[in-house]
Structure 1
Amino acid sequence: MQIHLLQLNQQLAEVIGIYYAQSYFGSTAKANVEQMINKMLETYKQRLQDNSWLSESTKNEALKKLDHITLKIGYPDKISDVYNDIQVSANKSLYENISAANKTWVQYSFNELYKPVDRTLWGPDAPANLINAFYDPTKNDITFPAAILQKPFYSSDNTLSENLGGIGAVIAHEITHAFDPNGSKFDEFGNIRNWWSEQDYKKFTELSQAEIELFDGIICGGLKTNGKLTVGENVADLGGLTVAVETAKKENGNLQEVFQTWAKIWRGKMMPQFRKSIIAYDSHVPSELRSNVPAQCIDDFYQTFNIQPTAGMWLDPEKRVHIW
């Protein structure tokens, strides 16, 4: 039965995702999250406009890329036409049904080859019932399936500040991937193109190196973290939390709730063996570092909780990294 369900979810991913989202998420929650995302985008836009180390030409390119990000929130408004052609028969075996569906998918892919790209389609890799969030640099889009839009990340019962510290910071994290060391190589249409001035990119490389050095060698669970391996995610975490805090300030929010919810979404337990695999191979640092280190770089964190130089969470101002 489990194999059958996995195959069903693979072959009919978007259809199942739509059913899940409409049953457990709904249009009201979707509109609420979209409204919050627009607030985050406005904050991000303002931060780019006020950026002190970008030249005007690079700044304009960054703003153009930000304006072109496609938002895929909760569930798609339409799904691929391929599902009109997939036929499942009770008179056929599981293998025969899977084989027929695979043939339909292949033919659909060939039919789409020379058609204009529809950037609003989600595709089967990110159905609404998937707990995850994505930025795709080749499409310049962010995807937040309905399944991740639940506690502890999001709840309609939360205050705006709590939601900003949860899903809001994650949303801005994905937006920041458009401007991390990898995503920054792609333009607003997802093409590999250098839109940076030479001087600006040199400065960005210096700031990214500071982020590498900030994390490199931190002892976590008896092991040293690799700042170079994780730099893209660390830049995104820092940008995400920074923009969430700035948005909360604009909305007269509660910064304690922002930081506390940010910490809550990274709570977890893991076996030592799993921690070793994360530090050795994963592009993300362990959860406690995702929670703590970005907060240590934000000045409002110290003011919000009255953190003094003698506290364990104190990081000297000259070591705090600020990029986006």
Structure 2
Amino acid sequence: MKNVLEFEKRLAQITIPADQRRDDESTYHKITLKELKMKCKAIDWVSYYRRAFGPIGREITENEQIVIYSPQYMSNLSDLIEEHLRDEQKKIVVANYLGWSVVQTMTSCLAKPFREASKILRKALMGSEGTESPWRYCVTDTNGVMGFALGAMFVKAVFHGDSKLMAQTMIEEVRDAFKSNLPNLKWMDEHTRQLAKEKADAITDMIGFPDFILDSTKLNQKYEGLILEENDYFTNNIEVNRFALRRNIQKIDKMANKSEWEMSPPTVNAYYTPTKNQIVFPAGILQAPFYDVNYPKSLNFGAMGVVMGHELSHAFDDQGREYDKSGNLHQWWKNSTIRKFEERMKCFVDQYTKYNVGSDHVNGKQTIGENVADNGGLTAAYNAYKSWLSKHPTELPLPGVNLTNLQLFFVGFSQVWCSTSTPEALKLQIMNDPHSPAQFRVIGTLSNSYEFAQQFKCSPNTRMNPEKKCVVW
């Protein structure tokens, strides 16, 4: 296993760091399998893809076009594999690595010794074994496989009927606030500004859940062909992987389905897809502490409104801005505006790189997209809430706290990030996660907000009201 570990280290060493893979235009390389073979000779790519697409009978030739992110990595990978294939002992290392990789992905459904070993690894990486009661594990695992079936039960049982309509209204209010702020951006030229407005208008949204999950016939069709055995958990996992692969490769040669959900309804998350120019908010996030139909608007805008603004801002972060309103990858900003945008990006990189947990500093380049989205989302949601207040001036303050509604907005934003984490988990997050640790998502965003400093009367040149603030959107 030591040799396997060394091989994996070699793979890690030739991998391009995440903070160097953020420019989608520079990492988009469309080539044929024949050309790939020339860059990475150690692998018979045509045979590989023929086997992968065998279940659907799709013919694969050497002229098939694919997209790779790093030609240099493929070349280095080929060199590494060829080095090992020239030596009989090293051949065994590659075989053992591939075998171990399969075992590692299936650990959760193997015998107890494998699961116990996995706990030891998790303890080392995360500071916790992550042990949970069997029923909770089973629900989580089932949701991962049949999330839309469980989603139907979730929606029928707990999803408030008015939440979908009210969330739709809030999205439009946040979108309008974002567009209204575009004329204030002096760094953006007029032509690019107009295209940005058109892109914001073109963003589609999906809220709560797809309608098909409430139709049992259509829901059954979603899982048609998935055969599970009552008492064979391991085989079921193999079948689930085969089923997912078949469904995925069947999409080739077809138009992208822009109404397809990537997250199941119970998921507490949201996402923006640049190739679809689409934002999605599953039912799971449309509940406390992010959202509740009975909450004051100040808290709903501060929590869920910022999430909506965050996802919308992803359409204009360092990666999202490279895609136009139709989801096509090409340059639609003027060079002068790109240069000014990148200057503002550097401000965020420098700001967040100064944040640290012990001796570990946040990677400002790796987290730039999420940090910009946090800041842009807060601004859009705050302006949307102020606009709503101007039409509803009679909103009462929250009883029991001596805070104004505008102050409550910032409290609503902050409290959703209240969390605990082990030192090991924080270290791993700083190393790999594109998101900054929760505390810096709050401190970093609010310290850039003139409105926060004004509402809480922060003294000038203090930590939460520095003279230099980073602002893009």
TM-score by length of 2: 0.62
1:221 and 1:275 in contact (8 A); partners too? no
- Listed as ranges, the matches of 1:61-80 within 5 Å are 61-78=195-212
Name segments (4+ residues, structure 1) moved above 4 Å. Answer: 1-7, 79-82, 87-112
The residue aligned with 1:119 is 258
Tell me the equivalent position of 1:300.
451
Instruction: Report the Cα distance in structure 2 between the residues aligned to 1:9 and 1:196, rounded to whole angstroms.
Output: 41
Q: Please say which structure displays the higher CA radius of gyration.
A: 2
Give the SS at the match of 2:272.
Answer: strand
Give SS of 1:139's match.
coil
Indicate which of 158, 161, 186 corresponds to 1:24: 158
Asked if 1:46 is matched to 2:176, the reply is no
Given candidates 307, 310, 314, the residue that maps to 2:465 is 314
> 1:275 is matched with which residue?
426
Q: Which amino acid aligns with 1:36?
A: M
- CA distance, structure 1, for counterparts of residue 343 and residue 307 of structure 2: 25
Alpha-carbon offset, residue 84 of structure 1 = 6.0
Q: 1:14 to 1:91 in 2, by over 3 A?
A: closer
Aligned mates of 2:454, 2:159 — CA distance in 1:
36
- Structure 1 SS opposite 2:266: coil
The offset of 1:147, in angstroms, is: 1.1
Which stretch of the first structure deviates more once superposed, 246-255 or 5-14?
5-14
Is contact 1:244-1:258 (8 Å) kept? no
Q: Which moved more, 1:59-68 or 1:305-314?
A: 305-314
CA distance in 1, matches of 2:451, 2:326: 35
Q: CA-to-partner distance for each residue in 1:112-171, whole Å, 9 max, x for gaps?
A: 434433311214xx0011121111222221121111222111111211111011011011
Larger relative contact order (CA 8 Å, sep ≥ 6): 1
Post-superposition Cα deviations, 1:45-66, rounded to whole Å, max 9, x if no partner, equal 1112443221122112212221
Letter in 2 for 1:118: N
Among 171, 174, 179, the residue aligned to 2:308:
171
Q: Residue type matched to 1:39 in 2?
A: E
CA spacing shift, 1:5–1:151, aligned 2, 3 Å:
closer
Cα deviation, 1:168-221, whole Å, max 9, x if unaligned, reads: 101101111111111111122222111110101111111101111121222334
The answer to whether the 8 A contact 2:271-2:280 is kept is yes
Quote the offset at 1:39 in angstroms: 0.5
Return the offset for 1:233: 0.9
State whether residues 78 and 121 of structure 1, in contact with CA within 8 Å, keep that contact through their aligned partners in structure 2.
no
The answer to whether the 8 Å contact 1:266/1:291 transfers is: yes
What is the CA-CA distance between 1:31 and the residue it aligns to? 0.9
Superposed, which structure 2 residues align to 1:97-136 within 5 Å?
Answer: 105-109=244-248, 111-123=250-262, 126-136=263-273
The answer on whether the counterparts of 1:65 and 1:188 sit within 8 Å (CA) in structure 2 is: yes
**Equivalent residue for 1:289, pick from 432, 440, 461:** 440
Structure 1 residue 37: Cα displacement: 0.8
- Aligned-residue CA RMSD (Å): 2.5
Report the TM-score when normalising by structure 1: 0.89
Q: Residues 58 and 312 of structure 1: is their aligned pair in 2 closer, same or farther, counting only changes over 3 Å?
A: closer
- Match of residue 348 from structure 2: 211
Alpha-carbon separation, structure 1, partners of 2:360 and 2:303: 28
Q: Aligned partner of 2:361: which letter? A: K
In the alignment, which of 364, 379, 383 is matched to residue 246 of structure 1? 383
TM-aligned CA distance change 1:99 to 1:212, over 3 Å: closer
Deviates more, 1:113-122 or 1:274-283: 113-122
Q: Which residue number in structure 2 is paired with residue 265 of structure 1?
A: 416
Query: What is the match of residue 274 of structure 2?
Result: 137
Distance 1:155 1:185 in 2: 35
Deviation at 1:18, TM superposition (A): 2.8
**Residue 227 (1) aligns with residue 361 (2):** no
Q: For structure 1, which segment, 99-108 or 218-227, has the greater mean C-alpha deviation from structure 2 after superposition?
A: 99-108
Take 1:114 and 1:176, find their aligned partners in 2: how far apart are those partners?
A: 31
Which residue of the partner structure matches residue 56 of structure 1? Answer: 190
Q: Answer yes or no: is the 8 Å Cα contact 1:70–1:120 preserved in 2.
A: no
**Cα separation, partners in 2 of 1:296 and 1:87, compared to 1, 3 Å:** closer
